Amino acid sequence: MASVELRNIGKRFDNGTWAVKDIALTIEDGELVVLVGSSGCGKSTLLRLLAGLENASEGEILIDGKKVNQQTPQQRNVAMVFQNYALYPHMTVRANLEFPLHMSHTAKDQIKARVGEIADMLQLSEIVDRRPGQLSGGQRQRVAMGRALVRDPSVFLLDEPLSNLDASLRAQIRAEIARIQKRLKTTSLYVTHDQVEAMTLGDRVVVLDHGELQQIGTPQELYHHPKNSFVAKFIGSPGMNILPSELIDRGDGRLGVKLGGQQMSLVLERQAYEKLVPYSGQDVYTGIRPEAFACAPTQASVELKANVEAVEFIGHETLAYLSLPGAGQVHADQLSIARLPGQFHKPNADVAVFYIKPDALCFFNQAGRNILIEGTGEQ
């Protein structure tokens, strides 16, 4: 077990483009941190830098306070689960599990004991004499985990380990990974493009975009206080609606938000009000979570009228696709989405009324930064 620290890590490819840039990140001993971002954002590169499969162009990697930039993966004592598992096809499950121990010259009786232990823990005992080609996807996944865990690594790296599994198996194995990680308390870095996986698994989540770190925080922090509009849209399913709007100072802690042809009048706490006031009269972006829409008024909620363009009934909830009268979208082809509990019927009238709690709103400046948390030093 170990802590991991990345100090201003950057990786530039031969063609001059930066895969990741200026990444600073600390993973505490025993913590599970999830790296999330869309494909090509550099998350796998960062994992490979930590594994020692690629060399960093700049910055320092420290494991347990020791600089490991020049060390081989084995010297770093990291283990990795690959997206396609990378099991050795010509070896049995047992031989796959034994391989890392053979490489570290472990004594034979110890190898036998350790492999037995891991096989029991991951329920592989029945299949140890089979080859990877004879296993199901879930079994292969467990063998890959076993091979990574068998030599008791300091750091456990997982590169999209669930993306080759079908949906039902994915949830099951996700829970298993969480259980094993909690039990072994191995410092882990988990890469995924799936924000649901990130939110459910991570002690903390790191959001990357175009090789740059967008935000580090607990799932709750990312959800409620996204640092910028990228994180706001990326986290949540569906992500936050980002609408161009204008702020109008009404005095006395009251602020008007002009959204297309309508205006919401918000009564804000002093701190929030003071941060937003300097932007009055300016174009900003208002972020509304799909879950923040309600069909009935609650205490302090404000009205928002919208055209319901389409509804999707998913069983326990309904997604309503909305357009605001007289307002454009950040992307013209993307309607706002409201996530409503139970069954919601498309109203006969053109315009439906929704209710929103002011404290569920986020405001982003033209650069996409969250005005409410900017300057607080929070990451």
Partner 1 sequence: MIGRLRVGTLSVYLLLAAFALAFLVPVAMMLFGSFKPDDQVLVQAARLGSLLPTEFSWFNYRDVFARVPFTRYLFNSAFISACIVAGGLLVNSLAAYAFARLQWPGRDWLLLVVIALMIIPLEAIAVPLFYEVTLLGWRDTYWVQIIPFIANAFSIYLFYSFFLGLPRELEEAARIDGAGPWRIFFRIVAPNAKPVFATVAILSFLTQWGALLWPLMVTHSEAVRPLPLGIAAFYSLPPLQWGDIFAFGVMMVTPVLLIYVLFQRWFVQGVATTGVKG
Residues at the interface with partner 1 (CB under 8 A): 51-53, 72-74, 78-80, 82-90, 99-100, 103-104, 132-133, 147
Minimum distance from CB of 2 to partner 1 (Å)? 16
Residues 340, 344: Cα–Cα separation, whole Å: 7
In this complex, which beta carbon is closest to partner 1, that of residue 54 or of residue 317? Answer: 54
Nearest approach, Cβ of residue 131 and partner 1 (Å): 11
Q: How far apart (Å, rounded) are the C-alpha atoms in residues 302 and 360?
A: 11
CB of 71 to partner 1, least distance (A): 12
Q: Which is nearer to partner 1, 78 or 356 (CB)?
A: 78
Dist. CA 148–CA 150, nearest whole Å: 6
Cα–Cα dist 85/128, whole Å: 16
Which of 50, 292 has the CB closer to partner 1?
50
DSSP secondary structure string for all residues of 170-235: HHHHHHHHHHHHHHHT-EEEEEES-HHHHHHH-SEEEEEETTEEEEEE-HHHHHHS-SBHHHHHHS
DSSP lists the bridge partners of residue 243 as 286
Q: How far apart are the first and last CA of the chain?
A: 26
Q: State which residue, 19 or 87, has the beta carbon closest to partner 1.
A: 87
Smallest distance, partner 1 to C-beta of residue 53, A: 5
Which residue number, 140 or 339, has a Cβ lying nearer to partner 1? Answer: 140
Reduced to 3 states (helix: H, G, I; strand: E, B; else coil), residue 108 is helix
- Of 118 and 322, which has the nearer Cβ to partner 1? 118
- Which strands form 58-63's sheet, in the order they lie side by side? 18-27, 4-12, 58-63, 66-67
Q: How far is the CB of 164 from partner 1 (least distance, A)?
A: 10
Which one, 165 or 372, has the nearer CB to partner 1?
165
* Beta bridge partners of residue 192, listed in sequence order: 36
Other CB atoms within 10 Å distance of the CB of residue 58: 13
Minimum distance between the CB of residue 201 and partner 1, rounded to whole angstroms? Answer: 21
C-alpha span between 29 and 339 (Å, rounded): 38
Q: Nearest approach, Cβ of 74 to partner 1 (angstroms)?
A: 4
